[in-house]
Structure 1
Amino acid sequence: MQAGERQQAILQLLNARGRLTIAELSTRMSVSDMTIRRDLAQLESDGLLSRTHGGAIRLQSGSFEPPLALRTRLHAEAKRAIAAEVAGELVDGQTLVLDGGSTGMAIAEALLGRRLTVCALNLRVADILAASAQTTVMVPGGRIRPEEHSFIGPSAERTLADHRFDTFVMTVSALDVTAGLTEWNVEDAAVKRAALASSGRCLVACDSSKFGQTAFARIGGLDAADLIVTDAALDAEAGQAVQAGGTLLRLA
């Protein structure tokens, strides 16, 4: 296992458990304690964890939005698979709204070179798509949320309300059969609701780690999604629970 792969595995374990020891990581990864110490030092330098005596802890509790730098490193392969599946669902000539975050960025990469009109809800996503002359990129205006670079506020919501799109490709912070589709940030959730109301179809892109989880602000019920695309690591029971409510689910 290369250092990058090992560090991603460490982050995913830490995100799930909150605290890890060097000894257990060394055993799990089949490398020396010194190698794990170097990995933890690098990840701490990147601002992704905090080292403790004999191990490491997650920077935030599960009640807060993880930083984008961390989310980009987590489940990267799954997000690329989801992005490829989502890209295959879209037809050239369509108009769509594309959400932000690490999954939205992966989808933007998968759409490069496509003949689409895309309203990007995030500056980073807009910048990726703008590299393609075949893609028409628009942004909704409003305020830019620090660090996340998403567009938020009444101006962004009004711009979305003034247009009609074929598809909204939505990313979410959490997905639960009872709580529905939820988001960490209230203002991001409001923009997503506006995009949902302005789109003929909603395609939710969500990696399997977010199933059965709940974030702070509700976007809508699972019935708001015409299709949910996730990765093949999804627990079978969780997938059956989603489909039991009538929601179409596809594994990338």
Structure 2
Amino acid sequence: MSSEARLKKLSELIMKKGSLSVQDLADEFQVSDMTIRRDLKKLEQSGLFQRYHGGIRYVREELPVQRESQSMEEKKRIAEFCLTLISSNDSIFLDSGTTAHCLAVALAESSLQNVTVITNSLTTAYALRYARNVSLYMAGGEFRINSQAFLGSKSRMFLEGLYVNKAFVGTSGVIESGFSTFSFSDAETKQLMIQSSELSCIMADSSKFGKRSMNLFATIDSVDMVVADNGLSDYWAKIFKDKGVDLRLV
């Protein structure tokens, strides 16, 4: 089993069990304690896991209500700008991030007409439930309580057959090598949305820059546009310029 495959299996097992010892994991994967300790150190960097003496525990990702309270004004400004990128009769992807939810709220109140929205987010779908200017489609699958999103193979199967005008995708972290998120399933969903759109747009407030979650879902130069708040440093602005990515600060 490759190191990457083992990390994926490790994270899934720890999430399921809650906590496990180094010895249990070494026995399960038939590798040395030292190998497991190296793997656990990598998993801890995602923010979803916490090592303790002799083992590791799942600390869970933030609930949507917790994430919504962080950088909310910046997220609303980003969402309001992204609304100007949408035209009547467009088809768009919205992921399960809080900025995508802000964009859904703005879209529901806008004068745009006949916009088709495909999302895997329950909270985003709820924001659009009465929007007469929107045709709403849900990418169903396994429901994850923490993220209030549908993920997994069924959700991917739904998305794989689609191609839309624009994809609006959030991120948990931005580093020089790309954009990342907490879970493998979420990374796969975001990647599909980016690949299946004419214009892919990453929405990221400045607090996300310089942070990395465990799962990279896109490189810097694989997206068309990044929309961030005006607190972003010149260092990051130069990186996007050098990569030929359209950066909009709001």
Residue-by-residue CA offset, 1:135-181 (whole Å, 9 max, x unaligned): 10001111111121111011111111111111111111111122x01
Offset at residue 225 of structure 1 (A)? 1.3
Deviations 1:27-73 (A, max 9, x none): xxxxxxxxxxxxxxxxxxxxxxxxxxxxxxxxx99723333222111
Matched to 1:211, the amino acid is: F
**1:177/1:242 contact within 8 Å kept:** no
1:236 pairs with one of 234, 237, 240: 234
On the 8 A contact 1:212/1:238 being kept in 2, the answer is: no
Provide the C-alpha distance between the structure 2 equivalents of 1:127 and 1:147, rounded to a whole number of angstroms: 16
Which blocks of at least 5 consecutive residues in structure 1 are unaligned?
1-59
How much has 1:214 moved relative to structure 2? 1.0
Q: 1:7-26 residue pairs with structure 2 within 5 A?
A: none
Mapped to 1, the partners of 2:141 and 2:185 lie a distance apart of 11
Match of 2:198 in 1: 200
2: CA distance, partners of 1:189 / 1:126: 20
Do 1:100 and 1:122's aligned partners in 2 also have CA atoms closer than 8 Å? yes
Distance, in Å, in 2 between the alignment partners of 1:176 and 1:158 is 29
Determine the C-alpha separation between the residues in 1 that align with 2:222 and 2:194.
8
TM-score computed with the length of structure 1 as normaliser: 0.72
**C-alpha displacement of 1:243:** 1.9
What's 1:191 paired with? Answer: 189
Q: Percent identity?
A: 24
Is 1:250 paired with 2:234?
A: no
Q: How many residues align?
A: 192
TM-score by length of 2: 0.73
* 1:173-184 matched pairs, under 5 angstroms: 173-178=172-177, 180-184=178-182
Query: Over aligned residues, Cα RMSD in angstroms?
Result: 1.7
Contact 2:46 2:212 in 1 (8 A): no
- Counterpart Cα distance in 1 of 2:62 and 2:126: 22
1:119 and 2:118 aligned = yes
* Separation (CA, whole Å) in 1 of partners of 2:156 and 2:45: 30
What does 1:1-252 align with in structure 2 at a 5 Å threshold? 63-64=47-48, 65-112=61-108, 113=110, 114-115=112-113, 116-178=115-177, 180-252=178-250
Q: Secondary structure at the match of 2:123?
A: helix
